Amino acid sequence: MSTTDFDLIVVGGGPGGYVAALRAAQLKLSVAVVEANHLGGICLNWGCIPTKALLRASEINHLLHDLGQFGFAVDNPRFDFQKVVGRSRAVSKQLSGGVGHLLKKAKVPVFDGFAKLAGTDGKKRKLAVTLKDGKSVTLTAKNVILATGARARKLPGLEPDGKFVWSYREALVPDELPKRLLVIGSGAIGTEFASFYRNMGSEVTLVEVADRVLPVEDEEISGLAIKAFEKQGMKVLTSAKLGTLKKSDTDVSVEIEAAGKKETYTFDRVISAVGIVGNVENIGLEGTKIVVDRTHIVTDDLCRTGEPGVFAIGDVAGAPWLAHKASHEAVMCVEAIAGKHVHPIDVTKIPGCTYCRPQVASVGYTEAKAKAAGYQVRVGRFPFIGNGKAIAMGEPDGLVKVVFDAKTGELLGAHMIGAEVTEMIQGYVIARSGELTEAELKETVFPHPTISESMHEAVLAAYDGALHF
């Protein structure tokens, strides 16, 4: 790594940072990555990927206990919990190593250390990098992309202690399966962990301060999620207020107020999933024109900060906090730096997916937000109980809901709950990105038998009427 001057330096090697570097290399820009911990970032190492590996295991465990409906019998199904956790870590390690291979293949140097903005050298930005071996190096570049990500928010009294109170990190590598678990926060992170542990056998209580779980989703979908969770034996408390956690040598007790009642509960472990904060500290923002708002760097629609030549992408640049948003921003940002014509991202065309059981996926406006924005809407719904493939799979519980502009036929939003909806939502994302109306969607031929036929039927339900329900 004798070269210290580049066209672009990317600070952070997560799904935003490493994708930015790969795209820059494709465009023949000289580029380097500075990464303090693991290539792949939180997503590959402590987020998206390891949680999906755990959730896959919990789905298998659930299925093993539900084989009777398919005519099978398994006596005393059991699992090795440490092997379940170990597989999850192995999957992350494999993919993180794969990112390193891609960067090496693209001839992108990776500096293992911490980087800080350190002023300018003529027309170039300077970065002071403290390497993990204790040495220091100064890098220069015409442009810098900050992709430092985010970390779990810590609330007073809910700080992770490594034993009783867990953040997502501790929840991914538990020593043993807790019998009684409290999950605080019902966003994607909270509901996924609640779903994993419940399906592995823990007694789970899910607590949300808002009046419903998954509060960013359509209200109808949130209601169905609560019913599904409760059917699985999960206790769900919304509009809840928590008292102070009281720890003993073996467990934690807390008073929770919900539905007008106060009750004291005792748990073996607590997962705090109350949001994230951007990693904006110690990266040299002081003395720059970069603005930070509620721990996130403020950018324009092309990811430019207030400091010339400095860009910010991904979680550190604010909501929505999604890996695929970070990767898309990375490509857009690099192509803009390379002088290509780019289109700013429309956040209403970015899908959101939650991999609990049942899965939840959405894109665009909820029904309530569409009406609040002044649209006259047409809404279509189709339940999985009317879909042959869903019934054949033993997955009849689910719903597809679509929201159209009644005047123009524009697809404003789509909301889904049920088996495999995280794989299906992309169909509606393409429809929104391609500005398709109900006319094109009604005429689209969906394969049979597939659960995706429910997507077509939901469109028909908004207009001429569903055929199979």
Q: Which two tokens stand for residue 393?
A: 């799979």
- Do residues 208 and 262 share a domain? yes
Residue 72, in any domain of the structure: no
Kindly state whether residues 37 and 169 are assigned to the same domain.
Answer: no
Which single residue is written with the structure tokens 């919900």?
258
Asked whether residue 315 is domain-assigned, the answer is: yes
- Rounded CA separation 10/8 (Å): 7
Distance CA 76, CA 221 (A): 35
User: What residues contact 227, with CB distance under 8 A and at least 6 apart?
Assistant: none
16: region left, alpha or beta (phi > 0 left; psi from -120 to 50 alpha) = alpha
Mark whether 30 and 130 lie in a shared domain: yes
Could you tell me the CATH number of the domain that includes residue 386?
Answer: 3.30.390.30
Give the β-pairing of 180-184 and 269-272.
parallel
- Give the DSSP H or E segment for 278: strand 276-278
Does residue 60 form part of some domain? no
Binding positions for FAD: 52, 315
Residues 306 and 255 in one domain: no
Sheet bearing 360-364, strands edge to edge: 352-354, 360-364, 411-417, 399-405, 377-383
Measured CA to CA in angstroms, residue 417 lies from 152, 170, 356, 396 at distances of 26, 28, 10, 11
Burial 221-256 (b: 16+ CB within 10 A, else e): bbebbbebbeebebbbbbebebeebeeeeebbebeb
Q: What is the 3-state secondary structure (H, E, C) of 112-132?
A: EEEEEEEEEECCEEEEEEEEC
Answer with the one of 223, 249, 274 that is the final residue of a domain: 274
Residue 299 main-chain phi, psi, to 5 deg:
-135, 165
CB-CB neighbours of 307 under 10 Å: 20
* Helix (H) or strand (E) run with residue 181 in it: strand 180-184
User: What CATH number does residue 231 fall under?
Assistant: 3.50.50.60
Residues 306 and 256 in one domain: no
What residue numbers does the annotated binding site for NAD(+) cover?
185-192, 208, 275
Is residue 77 in a domain? Answer: no
Active site residue: 101, 328, 341, 448, which one?
448
Give, for all 469 residues of the chain, the pLDDT tens digit. Answer: 568 999 999 999 999 999 999 999 999 999 999 999 999 999 999 999 999 999 999 999 999 999 999 999 988 899 999 999 999 999 999 999 999 999 999 999 999 999 999 999 888 999 999 999 889 999 999 999 999 999 999 988 889 998 999 999 999 999 999 999 999 999 999 999 999 999 999 999 999 999 999 999 999 999 999 999 999 999 999 999 999 999 999 999 999 999 999 999 999 999 999 999 999 999 999 989 999 999 999 999 999 999 999 999 999 999 999 999 999 999 999 999 999 999 999 999 999 999 999 999 999 999 999 999 999 999 999 999 999 999 999 999 999 999 999 999 999 999 999 999 999 999 999 999 999 999 999 999 999 999 999 999 999 999 989 999 8
152 - beta bridge partners? 276
What spatial distance separates the first Cα and last Cα of the chain, rounded to whole Å? 64
Is residue 104 situated within a structural domain? yes
- In this structure, what are the phi and psi dihedrals at residue 346, rounded to the nearest 5 degrees? -95, 110
- Is the same domain home to 16 and 147? yes
Question: Given the DSSP bridges, would you call strands 150-152 and 276-278 parallel, antiparallel or unpaired?
Answer: antiparallel
Provide CB contacts within 8 A for 269, sequence distance 6+: 164, 165, 166, 174, 178, 180, 181, 182, 252
156 part of a folded domain: no
Nearest to 125 by CA among 114, 105, 139: 139
200 and 327 co-located in one domain: no
Conformational region of residue 127, where left means phi above 0, alpha means psi within -120 to 50, and beta covers everything else: beta
CB atoms under 10 Å from CB of 259, counted, come to: 9
Same domain assignment for residues 395 and 431: yes
Q: Has residue 107 been placed in a domain?
A: yes
Structure tokens belonging to residue 202: 């823990």
Which among 436, 273, 271 is positioned nearest to 363, based on CA atoms? Answer: 436
Q: Are residues 130 and 115 in the same domain?
A: yes
Cα three-residue angle 437-438-443, rounded to 5 degrees: 110
Beta bridge partners of 293: 296
Let me know if 448 is a catalytic residue. Answer: yes
End residue of a domain, out of 286, 314, 347: 347
Count other C-beta atoms under 10 Å from residue 319's C-beta.
11
- Residue 2: predicted pLDDT: 63
Q: Identify whether residues 111 and 9 lie together within a single domain.
A: yes
Number of domains in the chain: 3
CB 106: neighbour CB atoms within 10 A?
Answer: 15
Q: Tokens 């820059």 — which residue?
A: 24
Q: Is position 69 within any domain?
A: no
Domain end, chosen from 274, 297, 318, is at 274
Catalogue the E-assigned strands of 259-309: 261-267, 269-272, 276-278, 292-293, 296-297
Q: Tell me how far apart the alpha carbons of residues 9 and 243 are, in angstroms, rounded to a whole number.
A: 46
Give the residue numbers spanning the domain of 196. Answer: 165-274
Sign, CA torsion 364/370/373/376? positive
101 and 235 together in one domain: no
Q: Report the chain's C-alpha Rg in angstroms.
A: 24
Peptide bond preceding 320: is omega within 30 degrees of 0, i.e. cis? yes
Q: Are 124 and 140 in the same domain?
A: yes
Binding residues, by number, are 52, 185-192, 208, 275, 315
